[in-house]
Structure 1
Amino acid sequence: MNVKVKICGITRLEDAQVAIENGVDALGFIFYKKSKRYIEPNKVKEIIKNIPPFISKVGVFVNEDINDIKRIGKELKLDILQLHGEESVEYLKELEKGFTVVKAFRIKDIRELEKIKDYKIKWFLLDTYSSKEYGGTGEKFNWEIVKEAKKYGKVILAGGLNSENIKLAIDELKPYGVDISSGVEIDKGIKDRKKIIDIMRIIKDD
């Protein structure tokens, strides 16, 4: 399994444990209060206490005050900060002084790739654009855009990934990583054990 796998929108310890038992590389915790997958930092702290070493802990933020991000990142010892809003190049560079940062870009069409050039980053996440939500829509975007995006860096693919399309996504696009959320849920923020097991088996067998 060469592709890196992150399960995002974790809100329960039992979901984190199932994901880890089945081979994920990273867990994502959403600190955007308007998200239905929002989790309070104190609850994340309790989950992290029970996570074994070598599992990356990712904090997902949307247009958050930069000082609040730094504080949460340090308190929880987050390994990666994932920025899912309209954060500027300067904002990202400031956070990179103390953290590994992944910038997410919500894709409407191929013109969105022009934004990536400005950030000059080694890796980035591509997700489906929605006017209603910052990620976690369960919808795919045009994957042909991913092929073009790879010339700017390593692509982490998100948006509508599930057990029915994950093999095609990995085989066809060969992304650096995949970010899965709604595709393994019963409800927003509540993961389905069987769906996690099924999608991880497909990925590992790929």
Structure 2
Amino acid sequence: MIRIKICGITNEQDALLACQLGADALGFVFYERSPRFISVQKAQAIMAKLPPFVSVVGLFVNASKPFIDEILKQLPLDIVQFHGDESALFCQSFDRPYIKAVRVQTREDILMAQHDFATARALLFDAHVKDTYGGTGQRFDWGILPEQINMPWVLSGGLTPDNVGEAVTLTHALAVDVSSSVESEKGVKCPQKLAAFFEGVHRAR
């Protein structure tokens, strides 16, 4: 089973549709510079409507510890995703499973992250785009992925309904993460693109 995370959820309709299609996790962005930023109040209302067994992921970019602590008090986040330049020590300080995003340029970035973030629940491999943290729609060279990655990992960055099947086949990824390529506009998912993405993953199984 290939796990699927739909990130950048901003409204109830998109959240429930993703769940109906079979999403394993939904991502909520608490980074104010993102067009997919969501308030705590709006996130609370959406999360209250989610079915059981769907993981709720909170995404942060270089946020302060007090800011993250406050959100963790108010929202039932299952996993914290760090998408900035956070240290392993910082990521571990919240007593919550975490995912560390790696903005990949070279194979060395992946190998170093395995060493530095060995306590992560998983690493998320995304494209490196200068001054941008995720949601760019850009992909990195999947060919630089090491043959052996000694911890769980998630493939992200530039995945689309058209290429996700190829991506899974080539990389043997067991989990994928998508945001911008299944949108009709920034922050709003397109039902047709979302359904096509799931179909692409299923065909690769």
Structure 1 range deviating more: 71-80 or 7-16 = 71-80
Letter aligned with residue 61 of structure 2: V
Residue matched to 2:109: 112
Residue matched to 1:169: 167
Q: Tell me the TM-score normalised to structure 2 length.
A: 0.94
Structure 2 unmatched runs, 5+: none
Q: Which of these residues, 150, 155, 158, is aligned with residue 157 of structure 1?
A: 155
CA drift of 1:145 comes to 2.3
Backbone CA RMSD of aligned residues? 1.3
Q: Tell me the distance in 2 between the aligned counterparts of 1:53 and 1:189.
A: 24
Do the aligned residues in 2 keep the contact of 1:61 with 1:84 (CA within 8 Å)?
yes
Letter aligned with residue 173 of structure 1: T
CA drift of 1:202 comes to 2.3
CA drift of 1:67 comes to 2.2
Do the aligned residues in 2 keep the contact of 1:155 with 1:176 (CA within 8 Å)?
yes
Residue matched to 1:68: 67
Structure 1 runs (4+) deviating above 2 angstroms are 145-148
Residue by residue over 1:102-128, the C-alpha shift from the partner in whole angstroms, topping out at 9 and shown as x without a partner, is 010101222312431122235210100
CA drift of 1:184 comes to 0.4
Identity %: 37
Q: Tell me the distance in 1 between the aligned counterparts of 2:125 and 2:161.
A: 19
Do the aligned residues in 1 keep the contact of 2:55 with 2:79 (CA within 8 Å)?
yes
Residue matched to 1:18: 17
Q: Name the structure, 1 or 2, with higher relative contact order (CA <8 Å, separation 6+).
A: 1
Matched length? 202
Structure 1 range deviating more: 117-126 or 186-195 = 117-126
Do the aligned residues in 2 keep the contact of 1:63 with 1:87 (CA within 8 Å)?
yes
Alignment of 1:78-93 (within 5 A): 78-93=77-92
Residue matched to 2:144: 145
Structure 1 unmatched runs, 5+: none
CA drift of 1:132 comes to 3.2
